[in-house]
Structure 1
Amino acid sequence: MQKKISDDSATTAANARGRERPTARTVPALTIVAHPKSERIGERLLLEMLAAAGRTASLSRNAPDFARPGSLLARPLGDAFLSRKPVRFEPGARGRLRLVVPEDGTPVRVGGEPVRGSREFTMEALAAGVPLELSERVVLLLHLAHAPEVPSVGDLGMVGQSERLRRVREDVCRVADLNVPVLIRGETGSGKELVARALHQQSPRRDGPFISVNLGALPRELVSAELFGVQRGAYTGAMKDREGIFRAAHGGTLFLDEVGEAPPEVQVALLRVLETGEVFPVGGQASVHVDVRLITATDAHLEERIRQGLFKAPLLHRLAGFEIQVPPLRERREDIGPLFLHFARQELEATGEASRLAAREPQDEPWLPTSLAVRLVRYEWPGNVRQLRNVTRQLIIGSRGLPHLRVDARLEQELDSAALPLPGHSLSVFPAPANDNTPMFEDLSPSRRKPSDVGEQELLEALRACAWDLKATAERLGISRASIYMIIEKSSLLRTAGDLSPEEISRCFRECQGDLDQMVKRLEVSKRALQRRVRELGLAGG
């Protein structure tokens, strides 16, 4: 491993590149989640006119055109069961968005309930994503996107076109050619290894080996020997020299997942490797030079582990030459449809039924039922992309030989048990309005302030004052809840429930005797998100 990977200048340059973000406005968008023609899933329509001039946007069978981001091919929804009479999207009161459904137009359902007249959605609802079910044939996700859309850097092996995923791709391209260590943070199952492989493939080391190791899966007493090699006779059973994983990755990339689980002695050795580019085999007296690009990943809150004395601060500083944050699936719901289709194609090919996704007759029932598509979009996905892949496999196998996908009662109950609350009773429902002078909104944001105007300390104090209720905090500060997540993501003072380690949550649960309010005060994270983590860990009373 070359010493220059730890140079402060290279680290500074990489992080500076990572902070460069093109400016773009936030506007409403419609992304196809389900369509009788499955290849349409993932196509998008930006409703820019709403933000630009406060004008009405219309949607019918014949117009406007949807297109995959970055593609020149654009076409209307085109399903014969949709009406030619358009539904409309209009600026609503107080920065809301109003959906107007004509009485004899396309039937629209939200949360299983038909929309009669019109319904208004808050910007908070749009930030979370609202699935719209049209004529039980098409599902569109109404959400927020950036305009103008930035040209793609290529998919890099990652499926989806959300803003959060685009940022990950940009970060990969910014740092791939630099010989600095990269720390990838993200929840379990979010695709951290996929990002590591993309870094390797985009780097000058692409022709060298890529070795992936899960430190949490290695026996504690063998971690050092596995990583750094063994000298013959070092311990009972060491009958011959072993080169170790670092030496096997010489000239290439080594990806260490769950780096937060590294034992103290391994942390010391990793720090030495990063500083000197040399490893000491177990039982050896001489160092061995290695040239390895080190990429690490964790779903743990390393800063908290440092405070607990479980992780060494200097090692974190060395590992984080550049950081990439992989978003959870629930924060990029517009990618759920394309990801589901991607996994479905793989499973259908494996079962010999790839033809099921071929063109169908216009009158046929959709292969992906709209009720299932809505459930997929609403589900919280605690296991992220890995869980979506497993659910897709279960659906494909469970529907073999059938004309469309079928959900068994157990899976249906599971998908409904942790679903995102849909905007329904909390939203204003009006009769269809006449042509009134609806106030225009200059930008689709309810904020009176920019996120950049809110400092970390101010946000922390507001969160504490509001008992970590994100909605109340957003109203108190005059920013959107999505802005709160943006500030937390960049903050060194704040964290989310997803950053907490299972050990920290379990210990706090015991010490607080399961009192969730006390846990929120101690851990300082959102109550709802913490409750979800407690439930995932199977702790009683969660």
Structure 2
Amino acid sequence: MPRPGARDPQAPVATADVSTAAESMPRGQRSAARPIPALTLVSHPTAARIGERLLLQGLLAGREVALSRNAPDFTRPGEPLGLPLGDPFLSRKPVLFVPVGEGVRVVPGDEGRCTCAGEPLHGGREFGPEELARGVPLEFSGRTVLLLHLAPPPEAHAPASLGMVGQSAALHGLRRHIERVADVDVPVLIRGETGAGKELVAQALHARSRRGGPFISVNLGAIPKELAAAELFGSVRGAFTGAQRDREGFFRAAQGGTLFLDEVGEASPEVQVMLLRVLETGEMYPVGASRPVATDVRLVAATDADLEAQIADGRFRAPLLHRLAGYELRIPPLRERREDIGPLFLHFARQELEALGEAHLLTPSDPYAPPWVPAALAVRLLLYPWPGNIRQLRNVAKQLVIGSRGQSFLELDARLAQELRLPQTAPHRTPPPGAPTPAPAPEPEAAARRKSTEVGEEELLAALRAHDWDVKKAAHHLGIARSSIYDLIERSPSIRLAGDLSVEELTLCFHACGGNLDEMVRRLEVSKRALNRRVKELGLVPKDA
């Protein structure tokens, strides 16, 4: 494993939180890298234009920006030329984007022709920095949908795409970190939710470091635990019942290349010990062998599990985590980079259309035809939390294309509509300056539609993450009583309570997040209300207190 001159495996672990590109920059450069409000096309009469972008740079200089059917031009990132919206159904009166502090006020030209999540913007509406960070879907004339969001500033030397679709700040940051660590001979641990694209990141690391060697991908969760050691490290003839010949094993198959171990949290105790030895010495013992075998393999591991919680429960070895995470990458979930949803959907849809011989639907000749991606569907795609991330989006795109085969636009059937149902929450409005902030209306307890026994651990975890660990909203989404969700959390070994957090972990996280409770919730994955209580018990003052 480690070659001469490689990084000392005992050195401190390097962690790359790639949630924003600015966070990866030196402190003195961050002010120059201020995000720019931008508009990204998600639905348009010419579907092939999905993903084109307009940077509202005038807002940073304190100027308003006017948007009409004829100007300004939308371009693809990296391309110098573009086109205006050009939809003949758009009003001739421009929509104004006006800077208001760190937010943006959107003033429609025609009343009722511009909506946000189905609600008309009568007289205009202001969107604050938090809403811009999440992304605001704007629908024009029931045909064109634009996402108002924050984009990274243009760079003279932008990172290569690395086979990843999207231009969000989070994805830019991830690409930067891949470029930095790819040619450094250290193990890499990739963290991210299910379906976020961990293997794609591993392939990018391999392509920039050991392109000439093999890339071997292994899902530890899919290998029977009693066979895992022999499958990974090989075995000699007669090592166990049924071993009638020598087995090479995945490590030797990946010699000179990259071995990608997905779901590394599923490794058995025996495999964990053997992995630790390989990482420490660069040698391994095939099952039943008496002599070690040297290895030259770049090890990349991935997990969506909370390995620290597994260490606390005695199910994962802390030294192994420290060895695996020579450098750590976090893949942002799709809901944290909504501006990438449109381009990703177009990418997957185009693949299916080309296979069906219907790619012409993306570039219709009639500008008056209804959009191939209906505006209501585009808004639903943007607002859906995507617990299955990119894998789920790809599957939805495939089903929509095949299910709408032979039609001039996509049609959402009842089953997909149920899958993509949105949380029933009122749209958030930013009050005008000086207006009193209204008290939040109490949310009624939803009647239980399901039994708690019908909810699996994976579905529970996805619902909690989708609703930022708001237990009440997660229970409503799952259709179970709020009291039942606490019982499910108690019985789930993968989910922690705020009371389970040590004082040291809480204090370190508090200072790492600058006292921001929302960021602490995302990192620790516990209820915000309970976390706030624990923080105050320690005498710490949250940032938003």
Residue 465 of structure 1: aligned partner: none
- CA distance in 2 between partners of 1:304 and 1:4 (Å): 34
1:194 is displaced (CA, Å) by 0.3
1:122 is displaced (CA, Å) by 2.0
1:17 is displaced (CA, Å) by 13
- Out of 105, 111, 124, the position equivalent to 1:98 is 105
> Over residues 331-356 of structure 1, what are the superposed CA-to-partner deviations in whole Å (9 max), with x where a residue is unaligned?
00000000000000111122232222
Provide the secondary structure at the position in 2 that maps to 1:74.
Answer: coil
> Over residues 370-429 of structure 1, what are the superposed CA-to-partner deviations in whole Å (9 max), with x where a residue is unaligned?
11000000000000000000111110111011111000122123212448x5734x4448
- Out of 59, 69, 85, the position equivalent to 1:77 is 85
- CA distance in 2 between partners of 1:312 and 1:528 (Å): 20
- CA distance in 2 between partners of 1:528 and 1:320 (Å): 18
Which AA in structure 2 matches 1:50? Answer: L
- Out of 127, 130, 134, the position equivalent to 1:124 is 130
CA contact (8 A) 2:93 2:110 kept: no
1:179 is displaced (CA, Å) by 1.2
> Over residues 117-141 of structure 1, what are the superposed CA-to-partner deviations in whole Å (9 max), with x where a residue is unaligned?
2112122211111100011221100
Asked if residue 423 in structure 1 is aligned to residue 452 in structure 2, the reply is no
- CA distance in 1 between partners of 2:286 and 2:95 (Å): 69
Asked if residue 43 in structure 1 is aligned to residue 43 in structure 2, the reply is no
Residue 177 of structure 2: aligned partner: 171
Residue 490 of structure 1: aligned partner: none
Select the structure with the greater relative contact order (CA < 8 A; seq sep ≥ 6). Answer: 1
Which AA in structure 2 matches 1:291? Answer: D
Residue 70 of structure 2: aligned partner: 62
CA contact (8 A) 2:13 2:326 kept: no
1:259 is displaced (CA, Å) by 0.7
Structure 1 residues 16 and 220: alpha-carbon distance in aligned structure 2, compared to 1, 3 A threshold: closer
Provide the secondary structure at the position in 2 that maps to 1:271.
Answer: helix
- CA distance in 2 between partners of 1:100 and 1:416 (Å): 29
- Out of 204, 226, 232, the position equivalent to 1:227 is 232
Give TM-score, length-normalised by structure 1.
Answer: 0.77
Structure 1 residues 233 and 214: alpha-carbon distance in aligned structure 2, compared to 1, 3 A threshold: same
- Out of 140, 149, 152, the position equivalent to 1:143 is 149
- CA distance in 2 between partners of 1:180 and 1:526 (Å): 27
Residue 256 of structure 2: aligned partner: 251
Aligned residues: 453
CA contact (8 A) 1:3 1:276 kept: no
- CA distance in 2 between partners of 1:119 and 1:15 (Å): 39
Asked if residue 304 in structure 1 is aligned to residue 313 in structure 2, the reply is no
1:323 is displaced (CA, Å) by 1.0
CA contact (8 A) 2:15 2:329 kept: no
Which AA in structure 2 matches 1:302? Answer: L
Asked if residue 405 in structure 1 is aligned to residue 413 in structure 2, the reply is no
Asked if residue 200 in structure 1 is aligned to residue 206 in structure 2, the reply is yes
> Over residues 137-187 of structure 1, what are the superposed CA-to-partner deviations in whole Å (9 max), with x where a residue is unaligned?
211001122324564222111000001011111111111111111111100
- CA distance in 2 between partners of 1:16 and 1:267 (Å): 24
Greater shift in the superposed pair: 4-13 or 368-377: 4-13
Structure 1 segment 368-447 matched on structure 2, within 5 A:
368-418=373-423, 423-424=427-428, 426-428=429-431
Structure 1 segment 21-36 matched on structure 2, within 5 A:
23=30, 24-36=33-45
CA contact (8 A) 1:58 1:89 kept: yes
Residue 7 of structure 2: aligned partner: 7
CA contact (8 A) 1:5 1:179 kept: no
- CA distance in 2 between partners of 1:210 and 1:192 (Å): 14
Residue 191 of structure 1: aligned partner: 197
Greater shift in the superposed pair: 16-25 or 210-219: 16-25
CA contact (8 A) 1:10 1:178 kept: no
Percent identity, aligned pairs only?
A: 59
- Out of 80, 87, 97, the position equivalent to 2:95 is 87
CA contact (8 A) 1:98 1:118 kept: yes
Residue 344 of structure 1: aligned partner: 349
1:39 is displaced (CA, Å) by 2.1
- CA distance in 2 between partners of 1:236 and 1:513 (Å): 38
Structure 1 stretches lacking a partner, 5+ long: 430-437, 440-495, 499-505, 532-542
CA contact (8 A) 2:91 2:109 kept: no
Structure 1 residues 529 and 45: alpha-carbon distance in aligned structure 2, compared to 1, 3 A threshold: farther
CA contact (8 A) 1:253 1:295 kept: yes
- CA distance in 2 between partners of 1:243 and 1:422 (Å): 58
Structure 2 stretches lacking a partner, 5+ long: 19-23, 435-467, 471-483, 502-519, 528-545
Give TM-score, length-normalised by structure 2.
Answer: 0.77
- CA distance in 1 between partners of 2:177 and 2:12 (Å): 14
Greater shift in the superposed pair: 301-310 or 5-14: 5-14
- CA distance in 1 between partners of 2:106 and 2:489 (Å): 48
- CA distance in 2 between partners of 1:303 and 1:530 (Å): 14
- CA distance in 1 between partners of 2:316 and 2:341 (Å): 35
CA contact (8 A) 1:130 1:422 kept: no
CA contact (8 A) 2:44 2:144 kept: yes
Structure 1 residues 385 and 16: alpha-carbon distance in aligned structure 2, compared to 1, 3 A threshold: closer
- CA distance in 2 between partners of 1:422 and 1:380 (Å): 16
Provide the secondary structure at the position in 2 that maps to 1:144.
Answer: strand
1:521 is displaced (CA, Å) by 5.3
Structure 1 residues 511 and 34: alpha-carbon distance in aligned structure 2, compared to 1, 3 A threshold: closer
1:14 is displaced (CA, Å) by 7.0
Structure 1 residues 509 and 42: alpha-carbon distance in aligned structure 2, compared to 1, 3 A threshold: same
> Over residues 57-106 of structure 1, what are the superposed CA-to-partner deviations in whole Å (9 max), with x where a residue is unaligned?
111111112222222122221222212321101133x64421111337x8
Which AA in structure 2 matches 1:268? Answer: V
Provide the secondary structure at the position in 2 that maps to 1:255.
Answer: strand
- CA distance in 1 between partners of 2:269 and 2:496 (Å): 31
CA contact (8 A) 2:73 2:84 kept: yes
Residue 267 of structure 2: aligned partner: 262
CA contact (8 A) 2:219 2:262 kept: yes
1:276 is displaced (CA, Å) by 1.3
Asked if residue 354 in structure 1 is aligned to residue 359 in structure 2, the reply is yes
- CA distance in 1 between partners of 2:72 and 2:176 (Å): 30
Structure 1 residues 283 and 391: alpha-carbon distance in aligned structure 2, compared to 1, 3 A threshold: same
1:6 is displaced (CA, Å) by 6.2
CA contact (8 A) 1:4 1:179 kept: no
- Out of 196, 209, 218, the position equivalent to 2:214 is 209
CA contact (8 A) 1:520 1:526 kept: no
CA contact (8 A) 2:9 2:323 kept: no
Structure 1 residues 161 and 95: alpha-carbon distance in aligned structure 2, compared to 1, 3 A threshold: closer
Which AA in structure 2 matches 1:88? Answer: L
- CA distance in 2 between partners of 1:275 and 1:507 (Å): 42
Which AA in structure 2 matches 1:29? Answer: A
Structure 1 residues 316 and 497: alpha-carbon distance in aligned structure 2, compared to 1, 3 A threshold: farther
CA contact (8 A) 1:509 1:519 kept: no
Residue 530 of structure 2: aligned partner: none
